[in-house]
Amino acid sequence: MTFFCPEAQAAVWRWREAIAGGVLALLGFWLVSGPGFLLAVPGYAALGCGVMLGWLGVQRGRFRGADGGVGAVQVDEGQVSYFGPLTGGTVALRELESLTLDGRMFPAHWRLVQRGGDAPLLIPVNAAGAEALFDAFATLPGLRTERMLTTLKADPQSAVVIWQRDPTQSSHALLH
């Protein structure tokens, strides 16, 4: 027996980090303003963590869309894999040359172009597990997250380049 309709459950699940951040910030505010000085120190820590978790939760909630698309996405150790009914493939994030949101297809697709001239990997924005792409894309150097989220929300009717590797930048990280 459930107390919420499925739409409300989906909305709560989409914004779960933002809700948890808000609850943690409220708890921190109560600890700072209420019981006494001894609990103010953990209260400030809870308040700060709650604000950061809430901010991250809002970004993730904006990235998540409706599920129910075809195929499945898996991100594992810097490698993005897509398993679809007609297409699929794997792209290493360190070999990624460009990331494009292609709105000419329905639904919109992420186009990941890898170095070496291989065919680009096309991933529907509503594929199962596509929310894991937020963390994968966040590791790309110089990616502007707000621009990506705004473009995704605007639902473009053309292909929009979200990120492109700087040609002077090396794809291999130096250890020393």
95-144 residue pLDDT tens? 999 999 999 988 899 999 998 878 899 999 999 999 999 999 999 999 99
- The mean of the pLDDT values for the chain is 88
Count of Cβ atoms closer than 10 Å to residue 112 Cβ: 25
**Checking phi first, is residue 117 left (phi over 0); if not, alpha (psi -120 to 50) or beta?**
left
pLDDT value, residue 175: 45
- For the chain, what are the domain ranges? 6-63, 72-164
Global pTM? Answer: 0.76
Give the span between the Cα atoms of 64 and 79, in whole angstroms: 20
